[in-house]
């Protein structure tokens, strides 16, 4: 009876011992839980739980993952994700009959093989759904050349407003890509203006129209693109009463610097696309420092309310935090 027990005891006693160790130290330690590891890593003096190389790898992986997600979103989601914005604008001397007058603003359609027709059609339908009194389109109907002129004219012919659809031309409609004013297609602006006029859209080229309700008047003024070197503000405002409200359509927001002492209650513009990219840590880096001052949204320049629309189309399919836009302005009498 004692034999097996003695053999077991002998085997146990014959287990080799490691000098300087105890039985407790030879037992397997419990693995540290993730929660406990994270708690220990935050204790003063203990440093981070993860070794430096692993921490750097985790940071790099996180940075790559975040920016890859941003690039994917900016390429495939935001360029065709239209945003409808509403703005209340107080206008001095606005006649009672024009109180609540609704203006829908589109700009920078950039018709090309890159911009889907479905995006342009969606913008048109969204504009019509606002039941506008006037629709204003401030230029860059095409991106380049003559190829898409007739197509974009047919698309915008679907716009409907109680008091009409009005437009001005942009730098791309003049085939001008910079402030130097050089034109690649000299007859392009006339071709676009004729195509739009043929679809019932009034193109204002340094001129104005007066909208009337009874004896009350609201002046709608349009100027040619600033880079085209044919923008003439004086001619456009000629003969208008300074006691009656005025709305100005101009593709380039920097046209506001040409107004001098001309009364302008609201200036609608585009051109910048809002920079098209507003990247975390970099901002609107595609715009020059000068153009970032009037990048997107509402600005107050002296007595002028200036709005810079982010536009509908694009030159290259990439937008981040600058969604394409259809803007609605509700005119109100200033108190």
pLDDT reported for residue 182: 75
The verdict on residue 83 lying in a domain is yes
pLDDT reported for residue 50: 53
The verdict on residue 60 lying in a domain is no
- Positions of E strands within the chain: 83-91, 102-106, 134-138, 165-168, 202-203, 207-213, 216-222, 246-249, 266-269, 297-301, 304-308, 325-333
| Residue range 184-206: mean pLDDT, rounded | 96
- Predicted TM-score of the model (pTM): 0.81
- Express each pLDDT in 74-104 by its tens digit: 999 999 999 999 999 999 999 999 999 999 9
In whole angstroms, give the CA distance from residue 218 to residue 164. Answer: 13
| Residue range 307-328: mean pLDDT, rounded | 97
For residue 30, name the pLDDT band (cuts at 50, 70, 90): low
Residue 31, pLDDT above cutoff 90? no
Nearest Cα to Cα of residue 207 among 219, 216, 195: 219
Number of domains in the chain: 1
pLDDT reported for residue 9: 44
For residue 273, name the pLDDT band (cuts at 50, 70, 90): very high
The verdict on residue 129 lying in a domain is yes
The verdict on residue 143 lying in a domain is yes
pLDDT reported for residue 248: 98
| Residue range 142-154: mean pLDDT, rounded | 96
| Residue range 230-239: mean pLDDT, rounded | 96
Indicate the average pLDDT of the chain: 87
Is the model more confident about 228 or about 9? 228
Residue 280, pLDDT above cutoff 50? yes
Is the model more confident about 57 or about 301? 301
In whole angstroms, give the CA distance from residue 322 to residue 274. Answer: 6
The verdict on residue 12 lying in a domain is no
The verdict on residue 119 lying in a domain is yes
The verdict on residue 238 lying in a domain is yes
- Among 22-31, 68-77, 80-89, 271-280, the minimum mean pLDDT is found in 22-31
- Length of the chain in terms of residues written: 335
Secondary structure percentages of the chain, helix, strand, coil, to 5 = 35, 20, 45
Q: Does residue 270 contact residue 139 with C-beta atoms inside 8 Å? A: yes
pLDDT reported for residue 62: 72
Q: Which stretch of DSSP H or E encloses residue 191?
A: helix 188-197
Structure tokens that stand for 81 in this block: 């994700």
Q: Residue 166 sits in a domain of what CATH number?
A: 3.60.21.10
The verdict on residue 218 lying in a domain is yes
User: Hey, is 34 helix, strand or coil?
Assistant: helix
pLDDT reported for residue 319: 96
Structure tokens that stand for 139 in this block: 């230029």
In whole angstroms, give the CA distance from residue 11 to residue 102. Answer: 97
Residue 63, pLDDT above cutoff 80? no
pLDDT reported for residue 66: 80
pLDDT reported for residue 4: 47
Residue 181, pLDDT above cutoff 90? no
Residue 8, pLDDT above cutoff 50? no
Structural domain containing residue 229: 77-333
- Express each pLDDT in 242-265 by its tens digit: 999 999 999 999 999 999 889 999
| Residue range 218-227: mean pLDDT, rounded | 97
| Residue range 95-117: mean pLDDT, rounded | 97
pLDDT reported for residue 317: 95
């Amino acid at each position: 009876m004692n034999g097996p027990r003695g053999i077991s005891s002998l085997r146990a006693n014959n287990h080799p011992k490691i000098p300087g160790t105890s039985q407790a130290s030879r037992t397997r330690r419990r693995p540290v839980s993730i929660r406990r590891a994270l708690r220990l890593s935050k204790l003063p003096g203990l440093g981070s739980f993860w070794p430096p190389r692993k921490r750097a790898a985790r940071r790099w992986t996180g940075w790559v993952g975040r920016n890859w997600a941003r690039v994917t979103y900016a390429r495939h989601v935001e360029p065709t994700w239209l945003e409808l914005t509403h703005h209340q604008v107080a206008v001095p001397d606005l006649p009672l009959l024009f109180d609540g007058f609704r203006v829908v603003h589109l700009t920078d359609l950039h018709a090309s093989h890159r911009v889907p027709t479905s995006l342009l059609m969606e913008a048109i339908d969204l504009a019509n759904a606002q039941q506008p009194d006037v629709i204003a389109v401030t230029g860059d109907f095409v991106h380049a050349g003559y190829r898409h002129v007739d197509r974009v004219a047919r698309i915008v012919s679907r716009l409907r407003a109680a008091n009409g659809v009005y437009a001005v031309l942009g730098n791309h409609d003049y085939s001008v890509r910079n402030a130097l004013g050089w034109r690649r297609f000299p007859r392009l602006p006339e071709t676009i203006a004729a195509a739009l006029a043929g679809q019932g859209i009034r193109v204002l080229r340094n001129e104005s129209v007066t909208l009337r309700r009874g004896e009350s008047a609201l002046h709608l003024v349009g100027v040619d693109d600033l880079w085209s070197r044919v923008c003439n503000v004086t001619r456009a405002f000629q003969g208008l009463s300074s006691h009656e409200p005025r709305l100005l359509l101009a593709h380039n927001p920097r046209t506001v610097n040409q107004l001098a002492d001309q009364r302008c209650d609201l200036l609608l513009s585009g051109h910048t696309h809002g920079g098209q990219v507003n990247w975390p840590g970099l901002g609107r880096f595609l715009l020059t420092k000068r153009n970032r001052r009037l990048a997107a949204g509402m600005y107050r320049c002296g007595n002028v309310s200036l709005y810079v629309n982010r536009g509908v189309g694009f030159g290259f399919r990439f937008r981040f935090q600058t969604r394409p836009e259809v803007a609605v302005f509700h005119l109100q009498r200033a108190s």
